[in-house]
Amino acid sequence: MGSFSTGREDRGRSVSPPLGAVVLARGREVLAKAEEMTEAIERFRAGEGRIDIGTFQSMTNVILPIVVRRLREEFPSCDIRLSEEEPEDPRIGDLDLLFYDRRLDGEVESVELLADPYLLVARAGAFPDGPVRVRQLDDEPMVAWPLTCDQPAMEQALARADAHPRIVFRTAGNEALLSMVRAGMGSAVVPWLAVHGAEADNDDRLRVHELRPTLPPRRIHLHWAAGRTHSPLATRAIEIAVEAAADLVPRTTSSRRTAARP
């Protein structure tokens, strides 16, 4: 014969609750979790979820503030998480979006945001006004970024143009790089977005020159995992980034004309 549980103390012995009580308690837990899931889905669809974005300096200084500001205006309750790294071999991982200055390999999708031209930043008077021939940089002291991201490709382009500058300092910081240019350590070849973000073109101690011949621009992409369903928040972030980059293109062209003016 099977035993019947009353859920009461029986002669000093603890008795398990009846099956109905167990089912009821578990059912309430499942219902509560289902309600939480429903609420999370509704928040996801409303754009009130979380978005994780990987970035690098130039994007952090120029385009990303526009993305963050507009997302917060349109989705006041959204949770935005940012991480800034410039590894040699970046991975999407758990990120929703990743800005990087070359197209990544693997199972990713991307949109190209900007072709960012390289310019020469030098102390005032170091070179005559107007464009500078790349060969003039041969054996000249230069401060530069570390050999990550698009930097190796840029230095290879200099070498193909018979320019082998002497690298006297490497640093990942744009401000540190330009500070060393101001101090006279050497010139720097950096993309326009870095020049614009640091307002170097408005610094009387510096001069910004176009290079002749021009170097291949670095190409900035926004990446995401292939096949991933975007939240409305991520979808809007991509749209805003594309719009912000498009607004910069005419200013990039204008800056290059100004640098080339004799």
**Alpha helices (H) in 46-143, listed in sequence order:** 57-61, 64-74
**Final residue before a domain boundary, out of 176, 191, 212:** 212
Expressed as residue numbers, the domain containing 154 is 116-212
Domain membership of residue 199 (yes or no) is yes
pLDDT of residue 46: 45
State how far the alpha carbon of 40 is from the alpha carbons of 115, 225, 230, in Å.
Answer: 38, 22, 15
pLDDT of residue 166: 98
For 189, phi and psi rounded to 5 degrees? -105, 110
pLDDT tens readout for residues 194-243: 998 888 888 999 999 999 999 999 999 999 999 888 899 999 999 999 99
Determine the length of the chain: 262
* Same domain (yes/no): 223, 110: yes
* Same domain (yes/no): 70, 110: yes
Contact of 222 with 238, CB cutoff 8 Å: yes
The model's pTM is 0.76
Q: Which of 257, 231, 259, 240 is nearest to 44 (CA)?
A: 231
For 17, phi and psi rounded to 5 degrees? -65, 155
pLDDT tens readout for residues 67-103: 999 999 999 999 999 999 877 778 888 899 999 998 8
pLDDT of residue 167: 98
219-220-221-222 Cα dihedral, nearest 10 degrees:
-170
pLDDT tier, 41 (very low <50, low <70, confident <90, very high otherwise): low
Domain membership of residue 142 (yes or no) is yes
